[in-house]
Chains A and B, each alone.
Chain A
Amino acid sequence: MASVKLTDVKKIYDNKVTAVHDFNLEIKDKEFVVFVGPSGCGKSTTLRMIAGLEDISAGTLEIDGEVVNDLQPKDRDIAMVFQNYALYPHMTVYDNIAFSLRLKKVPEDEVYERVTNAAQILGITEYLTRKPRALSGGQRQRVAIGRAMVRNAKVFLMDEPLSNLDAKLRNQMRAEIILLRQKLDTTFIYVTHDQTEAMTLGDRIVIMKDGYIEQVGTPQEVFDTPVNLFVAGFIGSPQMNFLKAKLVQEGTGYSVEILGAKIPLNADQVSVLSRKNIRSQEIILGVRPEHTTVLFEKAEGAIECTIDVNEMMGSELHLHLSSANDDKIIVRLPTVDLTKEQRKSLAYGNRMYITFPAKVMHLFDPETERSLIDG
């Protein structure tokens, strides 16, 4: 258990490519932090710098208050789970898990106790004598976690540990990692490109893009108040809809005009915009698919759309719509309350109407791509 502090950490490769720019983050003791972002955003590089597998080009990395920039991985007291499991193929599961303990010359009876204990927690006791090639993907990942667990390290690093598993197993393992975290009660740093994993696992999420931190916050914070277009689009599935709209200042109030509809903003939003002295301007309006109400009849303030695609997801429909501005909009429509006629009307080319209240709207500056209200 330990805190981790990164101050102005940079990674510049020999070919002068900067993979991570001025990374600043303080991770508290026993916190579960998830680095999330698309491929090439620098999340794995940052994790590998924390692990000591990559040199830190600039800045300082502290674990438990001690600067560890120049320490070897083995001296940092960290454990790591790799994306491709990285199990030693010539060793049995038992030997794989015991490897680090034997290197530390831990007495064999203690090794036995710690390995069997970890195996019991992870449900792999019956596979201890097998070689990794005789295990399924999920079992191998459990062994990899077991190998990290037995070390009782200060910090637990996980580099996309579930991305090689199929969807069903991934969901199961995700739940197991949550349970494991409760049992181990240590500091976790977890890397993933899957926003669902990030949202479900992390106490805090660090969203990265092109080597920069875009936003740090709890899952609820980054979902509710994304600070820019990237975060708004990255977090949430299906992703947030972005529509061309206009912010209009009228006296002390503000409203958003979109395709003939005029939606007055609420007092909180008005207060922020006034404080920032924002005037009437073109904006990008962000609305999440789950915050949109679908109407089958035309109504005051509703936006008219045409159905492009109707995806049946079981409990809900994902409707892909086009507005008169040719903005593409996805809405989630629960199937439970739909009548037969309504279901029939949700066909390609038919007209639909959507509305959304002011409180779910996210307003972004088209030039800076930053939120006008959040952040």
Chain B
Amino acid sequence: MGLKASRAVTNTAIHVLLIVISIIWLIPFVCIVLQSFRVENSGQVGYVLPKIWGTDNYVNLFQTDFPRWYTNTFIAAIITAILQTVIVLCMSYTLSRFRFKMRQPLMKFMLILGMFPGMLSMIILYRVLKDLGLTQENATPGLILVYVASSGMGYYVSKGFFDTIPMSLDEAARIDGATRAQILYKIILPLSKPIVIYTVLTAFMGPWGDYVFARYIAFGASAGKNVAVGLYDWLSKDQISNNYTMFCAGGVLVALPVTILFMFLQKYYVEGVTGGAVKG
């Protein structure tokens, strides 16, 4: 077999394998989308294709607490994304560009601290938030506080990226008359678009998909739930038969903004994930 033929066979085999993997990977998503348009029965059924198609589940969603949960999640995710991005980027810039006493020990300390699972702090955080009146109906601001509080520790990837930007650019800008803040937003950030987008996306995704913390802090109060907690409750024994298709419709609406975001920003996201490591 010639080189061309051998390459064609290898490529075909790889593509067939990838298509099979993609189909397996997409099955649950397709099922959820199909179930969300099923109107003949709101519980679980033994088939995939709806017998009667309709958007009733989407309409009914808005008769429930779903809009509230969605708003809670959206507010928490947006505010967290903004604050966490600002904190992470400032922290990364500081650790990348400034030399100060205890810098190395601080970085090591944060690295070790980050190795402990966040769940360990759950009970004490609940007590603190409860004392502050930020649980149950007021869970959203409490959650934002929790998400944002430790965000500085996630500096690794963006610091790694900033380290690859030559220091002489900062120095040139300082001589040109720029302040440190101006250097960050006029020079460093425009050169770090992938890492900024990566930071925004990861900061948004955390609260958007959080379940454990959100459930604990909402503590059963429907007004304080986020979508993950609220939708999951519909899968309880007494509710699943009435709400399963609505759960699927809610799932589609939750996935929609994130999917759109990723589709548009995927190029930057991949660059951001790998950028710190390989950018020369």
Contacts and interface: CB of A to CB of B under 8 A. Distances in A.
Contacts of B169: 86, 88
A90 B191 contact: yes
A80 B177 CA distance: 12
A82 B178 contact: no
Contact of B172 (A78, A86, A90, A104): A86
B171 A82 contact: yes
Size category, A interface = 20 to 34
Interface in B138-152: none
B177 A100 contact: yes
Contacts of B182: 103
Interface of B: 166, 168-169, 171-179, 182, 187, 190-191
B175 A80 contact: yes
Nearest to A100: B176
A82 B190 contact: no
B172 A103 contact: no
Interface in A285-309: none
Chain A interface, DSSP helix/strand/loop, else mixed = loop
Given A82-B171, A84-B168, A86-B166, A103 B191 contact: no
Contacts of A7: none
A168 interface: no
25 contacts: A51-B171, A53-B174, A72-B174, A74-B177, A74-B178, A74-B179, A78-B175, A80-B171, A82-B172, A83-B168, A84-B166, A84-B168, A86-B166, A87-B172, A88-B173, A88-B187, A89-B191, A90-B190, A90-B191, A99-B176, A99-B178, A100-B175, A100-B176, A103-B176, A104-B177
Contacts of B178: 74, 99, 103
Given A78-B175, A86-B169, 19 more contacts: A51-B171, A52-B175, A72-B174, A74-B177, A74-B179, A79-B175, A80-B172, A80-B175, A82-B168, A84-B166, A86-B166, A86-B172, A88-B169, A88-B187, A99-B173, A100-B176, A100-B177, A103-B177, A151-B176
A348 to B, nearest CB: 45
Contacts of A89: 191
A152 B15 CA distance: 62
Contacts of B174: 52-53, 72-74
A144 to B, nearest CB: 8
B97 to A, nearest CB: 12
